[in-house]
Chains A and B, each alone.
Chain A
């Protein structure tokens, strides 16, 4: 990544033009050519710095279910339990964290009622309790990162 790539990432994490030639409009604002901007975004996507270029969806407003869940997993079973949890296509993220509750994962489903089914299936297959912590109130979702 060079300085131009950083400017692109910083400028385009929101507010991308919704118009016929959006990359041309975005490029002009950055002092770039349309073709150069497209080539740089493609290169960053191929390198994995950009996961995708497009919408960040609001899961619940789309009618889907979304929750954060945590488990306390014995160290010697950690990898096996992670494999079970990650085998569910509804599990979007899974992180090990340094706490007695040491496995934290996000479950996202097309239908809200599927959340409880997935968590029950995880409990049944692992024999471990799952703490479900769906959001009560959202104060901020930025997920913007300065390159």
Chain B
């Protein structure tokens, strides 16, 4: 789906989030010159094709109490990585799961999972559980805890912050 100019106006206005009023789509429409019905139709269309992944509350995980996060990575033979990625992605402990390229020799890992938890012990236990359930012990593995967060502004389009993944 190609985004029209009025869709891009909608994206821009929605960057700050939906107005917290009783008829938010009417308020958004007034800002971009569209009717309430048109705004509802376009947001539904962008949701249907996946341009909008989901619509609702976007939390700051750290402020919500998820103080620890780690990137758990494995070196999985290429023929196996799709199936294992799907299984790990279906696991409730995993918040994001991607296949990415290795960067040899510095970086031999190709399967990346983000795991968030209340504290470091909870994250380590979750990753151990994943490795056991999915038989990952024989594969190269690393766990990279975040030690500092420098920036979490969200993606920016047209110089405006957006929540995007």
Residues of A within 8 A of B (CB): 8-9, 12-16, 18-24, 34, 38, 41-42, 45, 47-59, 61-64, 66, 68, 70, 72, 82, 85-86, 89-101, 104-106, 108, 110, 131, 133-145, 147
B96 interface contact, C-beta 8 A:
yes
* 10 sample A-B contacts, Cβ–Cβ < 8 Å, listed by A number: A70-B103, A86-B150, A94-B149, A96-B149, A97-B144, A136-B98, A137-B81, A137-B98, A140-B90, A145-B59
| A61, B36: Cα distance in complex, Å | 24
**Residue among B22, B53, B110, B155 with most chain A CB within 10 A:** B155
Alpha-carbon distance between A24 and B23 when the two chains are bound, in angstroms: 9
Asked if B153 is at the interface (CB within 8 A of a chain A CB), the reply is yes
Interface string of B60-84 (1 = CB under 8 A from A): 1101111000010000000001100
Residues of A within 8 A of B40 (CB): 18-20
Number of A-B contacts (CB under 8 A): 254
Q: If A137-B85, A138-B98, A141-B165 touch, does A63 touch B155 (CB 8 Å cutoff)?
A: no
Given contact pairs A38-B21, A100-B106, A108-B164, a sample of 12 additional A-B residue pairs in the complex whose CB atoms are under 8 Å apart? A9-B59, A12-B56, A49-B64, A50-B57, A56-B55, A57-B52, A82-B150, A89-B159, A92-B164, A135-B99, A139-B98, A140-B96
| Contact A22 B25, CB 8 Å, known A92-B155, A137-B85 | yes
Q: Roughly how many angstroms separate A42 CA and B57 CA in the complex, as a whole number?
A: 11
Shortest distance in angstroms between B93's beta carbon and chain A's nearest beta carbon?
A: 10
Option from B36, B54, B58, B164 in Cβ contact (under 8 Å) with A59: B164
Q: How far is the CB of B115 from chain A (nearest CB, A)?
A: 11
User: What are the residues of chain A within 8 A of B6 when measuring CB–CB?
Assistant: none
Task: Tell whether, in the assembled complex, residue B99 and residue A20 are in contact, meaning their CB atoms are under 8 Å apart.
Answer: no
**A21/B22 in contact, CB under 8 A:** yes
Residue among B54, B61, B82, B107 facing the most chain A CB atoms (10 A cut-off) = B54
Beta-carbon contact of B51 and A61 below 8 Å: yes
Looking across the interface, which residue of chain A has its beta carbon closest to that of B151?
A94
Q: Is the CB of A34 within 8 A of B156?
A: no
Interface string of B123-165 (1 = CB under 8 A from A): 0000000000000000000101111111111111111001111
B18 to chain A, nearest CB (A): 4
* B55 x A55 contact (CB < 8 A): yes
Residues of B within 8 A of A142 (CB): 94-96
**Distance between Cα atoms of A95 and B61 in the complex (Å):** 14
> Does chain A have a CB within 8 A of B47?
yes
Complex Cα–Cα for A14 and B103 (A): 35
Separation in Å of the A41 CB from the closest CB of chain B? Answer: 6
Among residues of B, the one whose C-beta sits closest to the C-beta of A8 is: B57
